[in-house]
Amino acid sequence: MAKYKLIYFDFDGGRGEPVRIAFHIAGIEFEDERLNFAEFTAMRESTPFHSVPVLEIDGTTVTQSNAHCRFVGKLANIYPEDDLQALYCDEVLDVIEEISHRISPTMSMKGDEQRTARGKLVEGTLSTYLRGLAGLLKRGGGKYFANGSLTIADLKVFVQVRWLRSGKLDHIPKDLVDRLAPSLVQHYERVAKDPRVVAYYASRA
């Protein structure tokens, strides 16, 4: 069996979290290397694009979190075999990446600069993306985004919605998702109660 190591930051969220959950669902052991910021700074230039997550497969380095999601999603049987359903799944993965890319530049901002930038996000792009995601969920049947069952796309949305509702993002109201896209909150709660997801977090505890 291949040897896997996922290198990402030491918190239960972000781009690495859906892959961690998927490995657990697949029943595949992997090395979960968790970095603090100082450790990442020390090793970042050793990565191909100076970023994480990085997935090592038998010592070979692979980058790009959505590629990781698809690969491990297939191992866990939570990535659609049907081409159209796979397309729907990929679409959602990319939407969440776009949301992350919009928020990321504001993480290093302070004070009024951050307040202004995030205010524009809330009123514009972020609201558009949340409403759009709710539409994609409806297209998928209302419970899951693709295949009529839990896929890696659902895990990625679950992690993102949890972050947006956490209150940890200053100047982004924690009830924004609840107000604009309540179906995404229902989806979040559905995924959170999935026995496979519950088992993953129980293993973390």
Domain CATH number, residue 8: 3.40.30.10
- Examine the domain organization and report whether 19 and 87 are in the same domain: no
Q: Tally Cβ neighbours within 10 Å of residue 186.
A: 13
Tokens of 149: 């069952």
Residues 100 and 21 in one domain: no
pLDDT at 171: 97
Q: 134 and 36, same structural domain?
A: no
- Say if CB 15 and CB 63 are below 8 A apart: no
Q: 80: which DSSP letter?
A: -
**Average of per-residue pLDDT across 139-153:** 98
| DSSP calls for 44-75 | GGGSTTS-S-EEEETTEEE--HHHHHHHHHHH
181 phi and psi, to 5 degrees? -145, 70
Provide the 10 A C-beta neighbour count for residue 98. Answer: 12
What is the secondary structure of 83-112 as a DSSP string?
Answer: HHHHHHHHHHHHHHHHHHHHHGGGTT--HH
- Tens-digit pLDDT profile for residues 73-104: 999 999 999 999 999 999 999 999 999 999 99
Do 101 and 181 lie in one domain? The reply is yes
* pLDDT of res. 82: 98
How far apart, in Å, do the first and last CA atoms of the chain sit?
27
φ and ψ at residue 136, rounded to 5 degrees: -65, -35
CATH code for position 129: 1.20.1050.10
Locate 183 and state its tokens: 């179906």
Is there a single domain that holds both residue 154 and residue 70?
no
pLDDT, residue 129, reads 98
For 41-72, what is each residue's pLDDT tens digit? 999 999 999 999 999 999 999 999 999 999 99
Examine the domain organization and report whether 129 and 188 are in the same domain: yes
Residue 1 — very low, low, confident or very high, per pLDDT cuts 50/70/90? confident
Question: What one-character DSSP code corresponds to residue 41?
Answer: H
Buried-state track 68-82, b at ≥16 Cβ within 10 A, e below 16: bbbbbbbbbebbbee
Is 67 in the same domain as 101? no
pLDDT per position as a tens digit, 169-203: 999 999 999 999 999 999 999 999 999 999 999 99
- On whether both 66 and 91 belong to a single domain, the answer is no
Using alpha carbons only, give the angle 35, 36, 38 rounded to the nearest 5 degrees: 115
What total of structural domains would you count in the chain? 2
pLDDT-derived band of residue 205, with 50, 70 and 90 as boundaries? Answer: confident
Q: Are residues 58 and 88 in the same domain?
A: no
Do 95 and 190 lie in a common domain? Answer: yes
How do residues 3-48 score in pLDDT, each as one tens digit?
999 999 999 999 999 999 999 999 999 999 999 999 999 999 999 9
**Domain of 187?**
83-194
Residues 111, 165 share a domain: yes
Asked if 189 and 89 sit in the same domain, the reply is yes
